[in-house]
Structure 1
Amino acid sequence: MIERYLIHYFLAVMDHGNFSRAAQQCRVSQPTLSVGIAKLEGLVGHVLFHRTNRRVELTSAGAAFATHARRIEAEFARAAQAMAGDAPTKLVRIGLLSTLPGRWVEAATRAACAVEGERIEIVEGRMRDLTPRLERGRIDVVIGVLDESADAADSLFSEGYALAMAADHPLAGHAALEPEAVAGAEMIVRRNCEALAQVSRFFTRRGVRPFFAARTADDERAVGYVKAGLGITVMPRCFAQPGMAMPALAGFNQRRRVGLIADPAARKRIEYSASLQRFAEAIRAKAAEMSAAEPA
């Protein structure tokens, strides 16, 4: 049986990337914490951390265990709150990347709102808007685009981009299209796209300067324009849906990794939030459905 203090040790090492700081957080000596991690690894039958002189990082088994560890600790916290009876309602302020499909956000919000004793506040925006809010303590966590240095345990999903077009578009039957193939097509500009600059440079370098039929900061509106046949656009694959085809754009290999970015001061408080965990798990589940539906 895995005891709760071992979960605490594991999460502390994962968050700090360092045994000494993790021991300080847990208020135990470093040898005691090291013994606890070794005991946990024995119980799960896997090495959970790569240990180097500079930093401690999760192994693939550790990254898989991290999801369960956070869920277990969140359930412990919920049980303690339920027993307390008069505990105050916890508020978790979530900054939400605006370029996520509405149906994904609906499912995640429904899951989070089902948690009793917690409430969430959602602030939507682009990364350049949300990051300053996080730094100023105006929100607790961002569900947004991770940089390359982000911990794998914080990642929810990774995806590429494709050409979104109406299902009956003349080019819709192709698995992939060269940029020159769409040179004469009308295009929709997604103003909030994180990869907008890269997309623009990609087409410009290949001499493709299309006519822009619409410009919008609303991705649901962009999808409507695409499905109506107004034009085509470059979108993350998460927007794939009936009535729309998404062939690959040959040579454009940009990807984005979406996950949790937490304010260090708030991380310990929010990591045990059941509503945040359910919100994140719903996003991850939708991404898994998307991956399963994609052709090999």
Structure 2
Amino acid sequence: MDRYLLRYFLAIVETGNFSRAAARENVAQPTLSAGVAKLEAQLGARLFDRTNRRVHLTEAGGRFLTHARRIEHEFNLAQAAVSGARQADTLRAAVLSTIPTALVEQAVAGVGEERLELLEGTEREVLNLLDRRRVDVALTVLRPAAERFEPERLMEEGYGLALPAGHRLAGAASLKGEDLANEVMMVRRHCEALADTSRYFLERNVRPAFSYRGANDDRVLGLVRAGLGITVMPDCYGEAGVARVPLEGFTPRRTLALCYAEPAARYRTSGLVQAAREVFAA
């Protein structure tokens, strides 16, 4: 069985569809589809149920997934041991893109002399980097999919409104969704609570106009300050010129954690990990 077939299979599982998997593996979608067909022929079982929007693992695919991840993990360990391409004192870390740059900057500043390679991504991308042993440690949100990476909880926080400091509602002790019916809002595309946010406003019959949809949260925060609109953000976001106001009845929370590749003990004493504990202390 060729390794590239395993990579195609894992890419589909981790991205959720064939087109994104093909883009991640840098191949044309027909090539990836042909590879999956070849893998299914070798195994004598169908691995995916396909729909217009997503693909789902079959029962056989679910059983194969455990072995595929183990094989890929062992291959990466062997490759790293033989190649010696990375210096032993370089820590590879991934950071969730919805964590403020200011906090990441504080953690990196506390690293000292430790050599660091830093990557960034969405929740799915960060866990994929850990799965593939592309990073040693990740700072991300803690949800069931991350439990297998020996997580170390750092802090828990909720979400609230971010408004320009000069906004007419900026001084409120709290606001209801109905209070925002006439407000212009911005969408944070990578927000872990995006579905909860949409449901919250729809249940209150609030359908605001949108001035911006973006994946860069620091840019969204800057546009809030500039007066382009308001948005819902984790509580850890804040800077001069931006008011933070609680949103009544909006209850989602997130836990930030450090997740480790094996062996976890090797990375728990690194400079970045110790600095992150101080910056993100609960």
d(CA) in 2 for partners of 1:165, 1:179 = 14
SS of the residue 1:215 aligns to: strand
Aligned partner (choices 112, 119, 125) of residue 115 of structure 2: 119
d(CA) in 2 for partners of 1:170, 1:109 = 37
Aligned 1:29-108 pairs, distance under 5 A: 89-108=88-107
Kept after mapping to 2: 8 A contact 1:156/1:283: no
Q: CA deviation at 1:89?
A: 4.6
Amino acid aligned to 1:90: D
Q: Is there any run of 5+ residues in structure 2 with no aligned partner, and where?
A: 1-86
Q: CA deviation at 1:282?
A: 3.9
d(CA) in 2 for partners of 1:153, 1:89 = 23
Number of the residue aligned with 2:136: 140
Number of the residue aligned with 2:254: 256
Q: CA deviation at 1:181?
A: 0.4
SS of the residue 1:123 aligns to: strand
Aligned 1:1-296 pairs, distance under 5 A: 89-112=88-111, 114-115=112-113, 118-147=114-143, 154-263=152-261, 265-273=262-270, 275-285=271-281
Q: CA deviation at 1:277?
A: 2.6
Q: Deviations over 1:85-130 (max 9, x none)?
A: xxx6512111101111111111111111x13xx3111111111111
d(CA) in 2 for partners of 1:152, 1:95 = 15
SS of the residue 1:121 aligns to: strand
Q: Is there any run of 5+ residues in structure 1 with no aligned partner, and where?
A: 1-87, 289-296
SS of the residue 2:280 aligns to: helix
Q: Deviations over 1:263-295 (max 9, x none)?
A: 2x231221232x23333134225xx6xxxxxxx
Percent identity reads: 43
Number of the residue aligned with 1:25: none
- For normalisation by structure 1, the TM-score amounts to 0.62
Q: CA deviation at 1:212?
A: 0.3
Amino acid aligned to 2:99: L
Q: CA deviation at 1:158?
A: 0.9
Q: Deviations over 1:165-209 (max 9, x none)?
A: 001101111111110100110001111111111111111121111
More helix, by proportion: 1
SS of the residue 1:177 aligns to: coil
Amino acid aligned to 2:110: A
Number of the residue aligned with 2:46: none
Kept after mapping to 2: 8 A contact 1:111/1:282: no
Kept after mapping to 1: 8 A contact 2:150/2:264: no
Q: Deviations over 1:206-243 (max 9, x none)?
A: 11110001111111110111011110000011112221
Kept after mapping to 2: 8 A contact 1:177/1:250: yes
Q: Deviations over 1:136-174 (max 9, x none)?
A: 111111101012695998111111100000011011111
Q: CA deviation at 1:255?
A: 0.6
Kept after mapping to 2: 8 A contact 1:158/1:257: yes
SS of the residue 2:185 aligns to: strand
Report the number of matched residues: 194
Amino acid aligned to 2:264: R
